[in-house]
Amino acid sequence: MNRRGFALLAVLWTLVALGAFTATAMLVAHQGMNASRNRLALVRGAWAQEACVEILEARYWVDRDVRQLDSVDLGWGAWCTASLEDPTSKLNLNVAAAGQLLAVLSNDSLVDALLDWRDPDTVPRAHGAEATWYRQAHRRPPRNASLESVGELHLVRGFDALPEGRLAELFTTAGSGRINLNGASLEVLRALGGDGEAIAAARAAHVGPWQLRNLDELLSAIPMSRRSQLVNHFQELAATTSFAPERFLLHAAGGVRGLAAIAQELLEVAPAGHRLAVLRREVP
Q: 257 with 279: CB under 8 angstroms? A: no
pTM of the model: 0.78
Residues 12-25, mean pLDDT to the nearest whole number? 60
d(C-alpha 262, C-alpha 219), whole Å:
48
d(C-alpha 36, C-alpha 117), whole Å:
45
Mind listing the domains of the chain with CATH numbers?
2-86+247-282 (no CATH), 94-169 (1.10.40.60)
Q: Which residue has the higher pLDDT, 114 or 11?
A: 114
Position 4 confidence tier, pLDDT thresholds 50, 70, 90: low
- Computed over every residue of the chain, the mean pLDDT equals 86
Q: What tens digit of pLDDT does each residue of 170-192 get?
A: 999 998 899 999 999 999 998 88
Q: 154 with 161: CB under 8 angstroms? A: no
CA–CA distances in Å: residue 270 to residues 51, 144, 251? 19, 30, 14
d(C-alpha 157, C-alpha 115), whole Å:
11
Residue 52 identity: C
Q: 237 with 192: CB under 8 angstroms? A: yes
> 42: which residues sit within 8 A by CB, 6+ positions away?
261, 262, 263
Report the interhelical angle of 108-118 vs 98-105 (nearest 10°). Answer: 140
Sign of the C-alpha dihedral, residues 84, 88, 90, 91?
Answer: positive
Position 208 confidence tier, pLDDT thresholds 50, 70, 90: low
Q: 212 with 243: CB under 8 angstroms? A: yes
Return the closest-CA partner of residue 154 out of 123, 112, 122, 117.
117
Q: What tens digit of pLDDT does each residue of 67-116 get?
A: 999 989 999 899 999 999 999 999 999 999 999 999 999 999 999 999 99
Residue 1 predicted with pLDDT over 80: no
Q: What tens digit of pLDDT does each residue of 118-130 get?
A: 999 999 999 999 9
d(C-alpha 90, C-alpha 92), whole Å:
6
Q: Are strands 241-242 and 179-180 parallel, antiparallel or unpaired?
A: parallel
Buried (b) or exposed (e) across 21-60, using 16+ Cβ within 10 A?
A: eeeeeeeeeeeeeeeeeeeebbebbbebbbbbbebbbebb
d(C-alpha 269, C-alpha 275), whole Å:
9
